[in-house]
Amino acid sequence: MMGLTQLVLVVGLGCGGQTTNEPAVEDPGPPPADLPDVVLISLDTLRADRIGIYGYEKAATQNIDALAAKGRVYGRTYSPLPLTIPSHGSIFTGQYPPTLQIRSNGAGRLEEERLTLAEILQQNGYVTGGSVGAFVTTRTWGFNQGFDAFFDTIPQAKPNDFWHAERPAEKVIDDILDWKAEVGDQKPIFAWIHLYDAHFPYWPPKSYIEEVKGRPYDGEIAYLDDQLQRVFDAFARPTLFIIVGDHGEGLGEHLELTHGMYVYDTTQHVPLIISGPGVEAGVVEQPTSLVDIMPTVLSLLGLPAVPDLDGRVVPGDEPQAVYMESYQLTQRFGLAPNLAVVDGNYKLLSLPKPELYDLIADPEETKNLAEDKPSEVKRLQDLLDAFEFNPPYEDPAHPVEPDVAMQLQALGYVEGGFTGDMSGPLPDPKDHADMVVDSQRAERLIQEEKRDEAIELLNRLVKEYPEVIEFKSRLAMLYGIMGKMEESADLLEAAVEQDPSNAMLRFTLGVHRARSNRYREASILFRDAAEAMPFSPRARTMAVAALLDAEDGREEAYE
């Protein structure tokens, strides 16, 4: 018979489906007759240099390229942070991630007081609909703000089925086109389409693998390109199309397989194409950020500007420096953060051993000019220091809920932390490249279900880097998937002892205790986790359920 604790454990983690939100203000009446439809298409994990219009000779992006040929191509657009939640927050608000206090996936959400592009268009008479392809762009993170209809039902990921917390472009687009047919054309439409297919793992339909001669990442992009033609065909009235990548993909360059840890152009340089009424065709070579999208779109529509944004209208008279960051290596491994600024031709990575690149002469960032051009390093460092974000970076005050953490893990985002000494200057990531590479290799082995190899590697990493919690938590997760519960629990016990403030580790160890019928111990762990996560009903519910399953715990549970 299933106990109450086990019953709570199998409650679904899905996100819901369509939602209807109240407009942020009263209906302003009929919209101006000349307002076009607006379609924002955010393509997750898309490098600019994999699109034909950006010079990729092997590209299979005929439809995107055809739209770009009629519109404005931003040749040097940068993501402010190479993760989906922060970058989309910047797209919708015109604010940098530090301003939004969203510095990582799962460590913040788009709060209601933030004014979004969807809300502004809704207030100006647009009917608004969004359809998204992954958990990281669902209402959990506040992305449904300003949408009359929002489609974000994502298949639930199972612990031993890591890569199904997403849905394909075809399904995402089906929802938005069905919705468009229902709302008609009495009012202008704002549609947001988020497509996640180019994110790892790269599993395009077989025909697309053949089309791109065995390059699976390019195959995913070719599949997206074909699906997007359905969108282009469906919008018959004048339409402003915005196509943008939220961040890129390392693909093994600069020692990064995917994205999130570094801020080289492989993960920061993204496509941005705007085409439609009032858009003069051509190429914009000013450095541009995702924060510039919102003010630029409002300007093209003739709508009032929003004050106090980090972004600006581009092209503009005065080019501005572009900021970018990643604190992943700091959070996970205790290494120096990756902070960077682009101004003119140059990009500075502000590290203990600084890196300076001429992006025009050296777009692949292979020749570090920092020693040869110290004055340029100082100039760019001064520009970087001028980005005075308040408050500065701090570790998240509130951990994510357990069910949310499980969804993030299903997408490949790991749980962990660093418990070593961080009081002094942090080491340069270049000096610990082997550890970072091995961490990525372990993650890839788990994803490919090469479990014996993953266990061997993770056991070595646990011994070599005991202060890195994620190696223990990953190995514990892998043992749990394989049914080796004792080994998994031993690792979690060690991790909790090492990092007692980590509520997610306590919650996970509580799950192990409950599955071993050690309900009173489980309840204590769940209660400790609940105290650290007062916003989370699940941890408290699990604490009560564990007591109810304990032989002598019912009276205490009811209290």
Could you read off the pLDDT of 259-314 as tens digits, one per residue?
999 999 999 999 999 999 999 999 999 999 999 999 999 999 999 999 999 999 99
Could you read off the pLDDT of 434-468 as tens digits, one per residue?
999 999 999 999 888 899 999 999 999 999 999 99
Same domain for 226 and 290, yes or no, is: yes
Q: Which residues contact 53 (CB under 8 A, 6 or more apart)?
A: 61, 64, 65, 68, 69, 73, 271, 273
DSSP letter assigned to residue 49: G
Could you read off the pLDDT of 490-509 as tens digits, one per residue?
998 898 888 887 877 888 88
Phi, psi of 475, rounded to the nearest 5 degrees: -65, -40
CATH number at residue 374: 3.30.1120.10
Domain count, the chain: 3
State the residue for tokens 């002892």. 497
Same domain for 105 and 220, yes or no, is: yes
Judge whether 14 lies within some domain.
no
Judge whether 239 lies within some domain.
yes
Which of 91-95, 121-125, 329-333, 395-399 comes out lowest in average pLDDT? 395-399
Same domain for 414 and 274, yes or no, is: no
Sign of CA dihedral 282, 288, 293, 297: negative
Q: Which residues contact 75 (CB under 8 A, 6 or more apart)?
A: 54, 283, 284, 285
Same domain for 424 and 303, yes or no, is: no
* Dist CA 231 CA 225 (whole Å): 10
Could you read off the pLDDT of 315-361 as tens digits, one per residue?
987 889 999 999 999 989 999 999 999 999 999 999 999 999 999 99
Q: Taking residues 19-45, what's their average pLDDT?
A: 68
Q: With bands split at pLDDT 50, 70 and 90, how would you rate the model's confidence at 69?
A: very high
Q: With bands split at pLDDT 50, 70 and 90, how would you rate the model's confidence at 390?
A: low
Query: Nearest to residue 262, comparing CAs of 484, 429, 143?
Result: 429
Same domain for 352 and 308, yes or no, is: no
Same domain for 530 and 426, yes or no, is: yes
Q: What is the pLDDT of residue 537?
A: 66
* Dist CA 60 CA 521 (whole Å): 56
Query: How does DSSP assign 346-361, residue by residue?
Result: EEEEESSS-EEEETTT
Q: Taking residues 7-22, what's their average pLDDT?
A: 42
Round the CA-based radius of gyration of the chain to a whole number and report it: 24
Judge whether 23 lies within some domain.
no
Cis geometry, peptide bond prior to residue 201 (ω within 30 degrees of 0): yes
* Dist CA 46 CA 412 (whole Å): 17
For residue 243 the two structure tokens come to: 């196509």
* Dist CA 13 CA 403 (whole Å): 6
Note if the pTM is more than 0.75: yes
Residue 558 reports pLDDT greater than 70:
no
Same domain for 426 and 546, yes or no, is: yes
Q: Give the chain's mean pLDDT.
A: 86
Q: What is the pLDDT of residue 547?
A: 60
For residue 360 the two structure tokens come to: 């025009």
Query: Nearest to residue 372, comparing CAs of 361, 386, 384, 388?
Result: 361
Residue 221 reports pLDDT greater than 70:
yes
Same domain for 340 and 424, yes or no, is: no
Q: What is the pLDDT of residue 442?
A: 95
Contact 41, 195 (CB under 8 A): yes
Same domain for 96 and 198, yes or no, is: yes
Q: For residue 346, what are the domain limits? A: 330-385
* Dist CA 353 CA 262 (whole Å): 14
* Dist CA 233 CA 231 (whole Å): 5
Judge whether 6 lies within some domain.
no
* Dist CA 93 CA 95 (whole Å): 5
Distances (CA, A) of 57 to 51, 62, 78, 475, 552: 9, 12, 22, 42, 70
